[in-house]
A and B are shown apart, each in its own frame.
Chain A
Amino acid sequence: MKTFTPPRYAWRPAPEQQGVVESPHPVVVIGAGPVGLTAALDLAARGVRVVVLDDNDTVSVGSRALCYAKRTLEVWDRLGCGEAVAADGVRWQVGKVFFQDEMVYRFDLLPEPDHKMPAMVNLQQYHLEQTLVERCLTSDLIDMRWRHRVVSLEQNDQTVLLGVDTPEGRYTTQATWVIACDGANSEARAMVGAPFTGQAFQDRFLIADVLMKAEFPTERWFWFDPPFHPGQSALLHKQRDNVWRIDFQLGWDADPVEERKPERVEARVRQMLGPDADFELEWVSIYQFACRRIDRFRYGRVLFAGDSAHQVSPFGARGANSGVQDVDNLAWKLQCVLAGIAPETLLDSYHDERALAADDNIRNSTRSTDFITPKNASSRLYRDAVLGLSRDHAFARPLVNSGRLSLPTRYLGSSIITDDTDAFEAPSAAPGCPCPDAPVERPDGSSGWLLDHLGRGFTLLVVGADPTDSNANANAEPLPLPVTRLRLDHDLVDRRGVLSARFDTRQQAVYLIRPDQFIAARWRQPSMAEIRQALARSLAIH
């Protein structure tokens, strides 16, 4: 690769190998990909010690995750990496769809203004991982162990016993909780005997990461049945350092060995970009994909996150995004359980909420796949009819599906979310939704963002009278844990009215926001008892 030299992280023996007997680690994370690293950062941010075991000593190289959506960037921003990733990545908002020999339409994502994080950035996974690893290495609470491969896993009511292979032999270690972020081929998943079922797709895809020597617009181009690749689809997407991701659908009967040959790939790319295109191949791979899910995200003391729990097709950027959002959901719950604030059953809500999200992502990515690779003549006919109509008629454009923007799943029906009892006209701030961002002003007049003001733990966003005011509640039972109070017009000012509109605050509203920045409950004028009850519900204390 021309644009990236993978770092090598030093292998060190574990304290366990040096005769130091450690009590069980509170949390061991298996796998130092984007999901495992985010889990480590989130736990450390909550004061939890964490050991990260990875069987390799570098970041993941090759064509892997590419697009990171706003919600994911907000998670990293909460952990201090969001601005770096957003600045590192390529921002784009224009997409073009081609059908056969013409462009059928052009779209603009037109992201809603007044959010700190962009709707989407593109960045090679290795750059992302490097940023996250560097951040992990600055934390005293994170013990990164490279070339430590988990080879056995057994658990009882109290602890998980892990056997770990290293360049200097095997050791065993104990963890109170394990987060398995070891990818689609998760060995941890096999060790607990969990099924991983779903739909496998026959089509093979060629991915080429190409270093372009000439300027090319920062747009996403998607071709259906193009003249340079008849009957198939192709995708062109920009990454950092003038590297472009090119995806060719090859069909089910393609020969992977033959198709991977550089001269063959170069010929394809040249057909696509024109005879004068000046480029070099960075990376080439062939893949097939599947949409699969583990049956339960929690197996006792082992929790599955990211690709180990769910696998999606790449259309719609839902792999890394949903994995990061898994651990966003999990880290605070684990911390509350470890601290004795919440019962272990809180972790069952991790399955409930994230399995719902996984199903949502699988549904979306399966729909994209069915549009891109029709399974029979009739569905191809409808696909082509939609594309043909989309050129002249706006009505057909919403039916074109070359991958949908990854949006966070609302945790609808979750047992730890308190449903609305009061009327609000703010559907994107409903219970179970991630807290919308908004520009705010600090009391000193400087400008900032709402999400930056939320506490590490639970936050009460209060507009109007403060129901937790100690004068009014001298005899009330205290809340089960400290809550950050954010009072509009005291702690922050909504100068431009964006917050008031997004939360439909009117003159009086109270929002209870979870540590993962999801809305747990909202009211117009709640009593302390109602707030206490919603908080207890959020913690699975019944």
Chain B
Amino acid sequence: MPLNLAPNIPDPDGFYQELIDSQRDLDESAAALMNARLVLLLANHVGERDTLREALRLARPPAR
């Protein structure tokens, strides 16, 4: 399954708010831990190594 890069999240503004709200009361280290847990949960859900590899590649910040 190729990485889906087309818009796929219903109610994008609602989701974004949910994402931000989920960490609003967390300090920086707790938020970082939460992000790592989130990555692992979603990665397991995707499960396809090729798709994950593509996401890892795209997620890296571009070199400046």
Contact = CB atoms under 8 A, between A and B. Distances in A.
Nearest to B37: A385
Interface string B1-33: 000000000000000000000000000000011
A388 B5 CA distance: 30
B33 A381 contact: yes
Interface residues of B, number: 8
B36 A399 contact: no
Q: Which of A382, A384, A385, A393 has the most CB of B within 10 A?
A: A385
A389 B40 contact: yes
A396 B40 contact: yes
A386 interface: yes
Contact of A384 (B33, B39, B41, B44): B33
Interface in A369-385: 381-382, 384-385
Interface string A380-406: 011011101100010110010000000
A386 B33 contact: no
A448 B9 CA distance: 61
B38 to A, nearest CB: 9
Contacts of A386: 40
B44 A395 contact: yes
Interface in B25-64: 32-33, 36-37, 39-41, 44
B32 to A, nearest CB: 6
Contacts of B39: 382, 385
A388 B37 contact: yes
A389 B41 CA distance: 9
B44 A382 contact: no
Given A381-B33, A385-B33, A385-B37, 10 more contacts: A381-B36, A382-B36, A382-B40, A384-B36, A385-B36, A386-B40, A388-B37, A389-B37, A396-B44, A399-B40
11 contacts: A381-B32, A382-B39, A385-B33, A385-B36, A385-B39, A388-B33, A388-B37, A389-B37, A389-B40, A395-B44, A396-B40
